[in-house]
Amino acid sequence: MSDDLLIQTEGAVGRLRLNRPKALHALNRAMCDGMLAALEAWRSDADVAAVLLDHAEGRGFCAGGDIRMLSESGATDGAAARGFFLSEYRLNHRLFTYAKPTVSVMDGVTMGGGVGIALPCRYRIATENTRFAMPETGIGLFPDVGGGWYLARLPGRIGQFLALTGHRLDGAEAHALGLATHYLPAAAVEAAKAAIVADPRDIDGALDRLAVTPPAAKLLSHRDEIDRLFASDTLEDVLATLEADDGAFAAEQLAILRTKSPQAMKVSLRLLYDGGLMQSFADEMVQEYAVACRVVQRHDFLEGVRAVIVDKDQTPRWQPPTAEDVTDHVIDQIFAPMPEGEAWTPA
């Protein structure tokens, strides 16, 4: 047990509790390694019937990964960043393939790395507090931790819309899109945890009894517009379509995309295209690891972190500055397989 991650068993339930409240429980490598080790120990422990993943105190479930560390590493040799991605993606994959029931409680901010540990779980609880997003294009990154797999499998072009804009879904929207399996009032979350601990073999029954009908999913009222405006896998086409549309929704999305890294947006569209064709989640992790190891050392990520997280001036200077200037050759370099012996492998 460490300060940042609380590992315990209650009855027949293994509990993983994120505990970095001042950082909105953002993941560091020690937390990822700790969760991996616990999951491995519980995998063959007959006394553990299910795993419950939540946060211990404070706001948010998990705001992402340790972005400052990634930026500092990316500015040098990138070794610490590669080590973090290796552990984080192994954790994502371990959760995705875990045989025992897993439950994630997305009560609060669930972004980036938080999405990566929540979505592989069999049961995913959303509440009125849920704020679910993959906002990475705003810091020159891309929706990793399996984003290429999950977003590519959302209805229509909603995945591409979320990847490019970083739009924040509320709990009702996450539930409507299947990203959450159950919608509970936040006031019922502790009762749900207690019921799971009391009888981990009846998680379905416990959650069904406490779930309520969520509010209308506001984003779905724009479903037709999203499918039309984000229909292309080519960024230049998406921007042109938005520019040609005289609707308020299109104008709003165009203004948002103008603030994002063109390179990161192109990487994201390529990732979702490839992700939709992937035959296994492990294949997705292999590709995302290669892409992440390269992107983290490129200008746009370092500049995005500076502008959004360090200096907070919100004026990143992207290079190249336009979609047209991000060549196919650059994207192909980013997506090239890692050299033999350096590729991602499961734990």
Q: Which two tokens stand for residue 233?
A: 């896998």
Active-site residue, 11 included: no
Among the listed residues 14, 34, 60, 65, the single catalytic one is 65
The one-letter amino acid at 346: P
Q: Which helix (H) or strand (E) holds 17?
A: strand 13-18
The one-letter amino acid at 141: L
CB 86 within 8 A of CB 39: no
Active-site residue, 247 included: no
Among the listed residues 33, 88, 136, 300, the single catalytic one is 136
User: CA-CA distance, 300 to 330, in Å (whole number)?
Assistant: 13
Of the candidates 111, 125, 98, 124, the one whose C-alpha atom is nearest the C-alpha of residue 36 is 98
Q: Which two tokens stand for residue 213?
A: 């009908």
Active-site residue, 275 included: no
Q: Could you give the angle at the alpha carbon of 187 between the alpha carbons of 183 and 188, nearest 5°?
A: 55
Non-local CB neighbours of 110 within 8 Å, separated by 6+ positions: 60, 61, 62, 118, 130, 131, 132, 133
Among the listed residues 14, 113, 148, 166, the single catalytic one is 113
Non-local CB neighbours of 33 within 8 Å, separated by 6+ positions: 87
Among the listed residues 54, 144, 284, 300, the single catalytic one is 144
Active-site residue, 113 included: yes
User: CA-CA distance, 198 to 95, in Å (whole number)?
Assistant: 22
Pure H helices in the chain: 29-43, 67-74, 79-96, 113-118, 147-150, 158-165, 171-176, 189-198, 203-210, 223-229, 235-244, 248-257, 262-275, 281-295, 299-305, 328-335
Active site residues: 65, 113, 136, 144
